Amino acid sequence: MQWQTKLPLIAILRGITPLEVQAHVSALLDAGFDAVEIPLNSPQWQQSIASMVTEFGDKALIGAGTVLKTEQVDELAAMGSKLMVTPNTQPEVIRRAVANGMTVCAGCATASEAFSALDAGAQTLKIFPSSAFGPDYIKALKAVLPPEVPVFAVGGVTPENLHIWLQAGCAGAGLGSDLYRAGQPVSRTSERAKAFVKAYQEAVQ
């Protein structure tokens, strides 16, 4: 199993609106990002995701986060979403997304949850909230997981500490409020995105 994009960093645009989404996603792609998650607790997420899939679906893995129900997966599949990120381990939701050809990054915290997600077909795992568990926890968890499964740290990852998560065995990270906060200007998104790309490149040299 391999992460599907060149840069294993998922931009999480929680709270983004349809009016501003295009400018922010453009800024992210210009900085080098190629995976974008719009959580379903964002305003009018259907509009934002559908328009970004249409506009950038050939250049980046575009999809949804905070997906909790199979009905939401069906709605996402209908609009061509290719990425599904969950906050929890819900085998039914994972199976439905995999059946629809999506890349699934399943949220988990324990070995039991991680293996349940993998059994359901998840290709990638996210340890959430990573900052609460710490890199040593992830390192220990990685010891029992299949080595080829990409593990992402989500929660509390910054450009300054990204290298610590990568050293712990993470393939990459999901980036929330340290990359994007609802209402921030596009210039801020661009600046933060560049800082994360630089931090990743320096960490893997």
Number of CB atoms found within 10 A of residue 17's CB? 16
Between CA 167 and CA 147 the distance in angstroms is 14
Instruction: Select which of 37, 75, 82, 142 is catalytic.
Output: 37
Residue 47 CB contacts under 8 Å (≥ 6 apart), including other chains: 18
Residue 149 CB contacts under 8 Å (≥ 6 apart), including other chains: 1, 118, 123, 124, 125
Q: Are 42 and 21 in contact (CB under 8 A)?
A: no
Q: How far is C-alpha 5 from the geometric centre of its chain's CA atoms?
A: 11
Between CA 100 and CA 194 the distance in angstroms is 32
Catalytic (active site) residue 148: no
Instruction: Select which of 75, 82, 126, 142 is catalytic.
Output: 126
Catalytic (active site) residue 92: no
Q: Is omega for the bond preceding 150 within 30 degrees of 0, making it cis?
A: no
Just list the catalytic residues.
37, 126
